[in-house]
Amino acid sequence: EARETTAQEIVSPEAYIKHPLQNRWSLWFFKNDKSKTWQANLRLISKFDTVEDFWALYNHIQLSSNLMSGCDYSLFKDGIEPMWEDERNKRGGRWLIPLNKQQRKLDLDRFWLETLLCLVGEAFDDYSDEVCGAVVNIRAKGDKIAVWTSDYENRAAVTHIGRVYKECLGIPSKMSIGYQCHFDTATKSGSTTKNKFVV
């Protein structure tokens, strides 16, 4: 018994304690079933709050590029629903990365993984608290990836997050990305929403 105790004591906690993330995250899946409402098509897949559980989930599910058109994945902080109506989203907006059809093969999966890592790794310095989540939309007309933040009036936070995010994805500086508030997206009449910020 004495030998066992000693053996246990010298095993570093690194070997058996999972590495905690700063936040607990929920992964959601959206499947477009036209007989149901938008909200009814949204399903919570699972939650995680450690590095190991993030990878276990990521490795278990389909890559975005294998999903059917009309599907979404959303990764949001625990307690925030991936919809405009949530208290933490309703005054917010998103940095939008619209992809062309060729980019499904070239960029989609690595951009989405990079986006997930920015979120769970709290890559936005002092402004990570402003981040609510991220969404990937698989669409025949062109896929989209976006990072959602909680207050479109917080210029310092929104622009910092946009700059860091663009850098993480390796988007060339001469190509700009835009930030749109959800209120404008939800009430738009044409096919585009005006940008509140551009980086």
Q: By the criterion CB under 6 A, which residues form the site for ligand MGP?
A: 38, 83-85, 137, 139
State the minimum distance, in angstroms, from the CB of residue 162 to ligand MGP: 19
DSSP states of 90-124 as a string? Answer: TT-EEEEEE--TTHIIIIIHHHHHHHHHHHHTTTT
Going by their DSSP bridges, the two strands 72-77 and 131-137 should be labelled as antiparallel
Q: CB nearer to ligand MGP: give 16 or 38.
A: 38
State the minimum distance, in angstroms, from the CB of residue 24 to ligand MGP: 21
Strand partners, 178: 96, 198
State the minimum distance, in angstroms, from the CB of residue 137 to ligand MGP: 5
State the minimum distance, in angstroms, from the CB of residue 5 to ligand MGP: 55
The residue behind tokens 């999966």 is 109
Measured CA to CA, the distance from residue 140 to residue 70 in angstroms comes to 8
Q: CB nearer to ligand MGP: give 54 or 93.
A: 93
State the minimum distance, in angstroms, from the CB of residue 133 to ligand MGP: 11
136 Cβ contact partners less than 8 Å away, ≥ 6 residues apart = 64, 72, 73, 74, 108, 112, 115, 143, 144, 145
Q: CB nearer to ligand MGP: give 173 or 189.
A: 189
Structure tokens at 111: 């951009």
State the minimum distance, in angstroms, from the CB of residue 86 to ligand MGP: 8
- Enter the DSSP assignment of 15: G
Closest residue by Cα to residue 133 from 114, 152, 120, 151: 120
37 Cβ contact partners less than 8 Å away, ≥ 6 residues apart = none
